[in-house]
Amino acid sequence: MADGKYPLIAREGRAHIAIALGAAIAVHYTAGGGWALPLWLAVVFVVQFFRDPPRAVPQAADAVICPADGKVIALGEVEDPYLKRPAKRISIFMNVFNVHSNRLPVGGEVKERWYHAGSFLNAALDKASAENERNALWLRTAEGQDVVVVQVAGLIARRILCYVEPGQRAERGARYGFIRFGSRVDVYLPLSTRFEVSLGDKVHGATDIIARLGR
């Protein structure tokens, strides 16, 4: 299914792009292109950071789709700190050149949302999952499977945005949030889940299947 609901540039970036573009134009007009070059490069950076391309979402019933563009930095069995259960976790690190729109890994009901203020450690560090600023969603699929997806702020990230609340029904692959300037996303899954990615894999939000839910 093609995802065409969102513009090519995320709405979260419109003000940032306008400011960068206005500054570049003003300096170019008053001082010349040489002085304005760094500002034009800043415009290019800001536009690429806030890009939000449409994606084709896989429709397999057991698919857990990737919640973010980036690199798989952790796979394994851990204690889910939100549902207090043994779980499998997949962690995806986003650098400043990745698309930063966040997508829901499964469809279902949003059961709960937790926000924790915290530090701004390098998001590639494992302890960032427990110590950094983070926003977690508990999703329950139609088959009764519980999945938790966590937005984790990074070293220079300073704002986590989330647009869904408990009680809402959500579609797999739907855009639900954004993290500004470098971060990670953790996904906690039932132990019966089968991983479909490996450490170090580069993955794409909404299009890649990162796991399969067991039955």
Examine the domain organization and report whether 186 and 127 are in the same domain.
yes
- Do the domain assignments include residue 6? no
Lowest mean pLDDT among 23-27, 31-35, 60-64, 190-194: 31-35
Instruction: Determine whether 183 is an active site residue.
Output: yes
Domain that holds residue 140: 60-212
Domain count for the chain: 2
Asked whether the beta carbons of 140 and 111 are under 8 A apart, the reply is: yes
Examine the domain organization and report whether 122 and 29 are in the same domain.
no
Examine the domain organization and report whether 31 and 86 are in the same domain.
no
One of 129, 183, 192, 198 is an active-site residue; which one?
Answer: 183
Chain segment 138-168, per-residue pLDDT in tens: 999 999 999 999 998 866 555 788 889 999 9
Examine the domain organization and report whether 189 and 141 are in the same domain.
yes
Examine the domain organization and report whether 37 and 70 are in the same domain.
no
Sign of CA dihedral 15, 21, 25, 26: positive
Query: Given pLDDT bands bounded at 50, 70 and 90, which one contains residue 2?
Result: very low
CATH number at residue 101: 2.70.70
Examine the domain organization and report whether 44 and 145 are in the same domain.
no
Q: What span, in angstroms and rounded, lies between the C-alpha atoms of 163 and 185?
A: 16
Asked whether the beta carbons of 8 and 52 are under 8 A apart, the reply is: yes
Chain segment 114-142, per-residue pLDDT in tens: 988 866 665 566 666 666 788 999 999 99
**Contacts of 192 by beta carbon, 8 Å cutoff, 6+ apart:** 213, 214, 215
* pTM recorded for the entire structure: 0.83
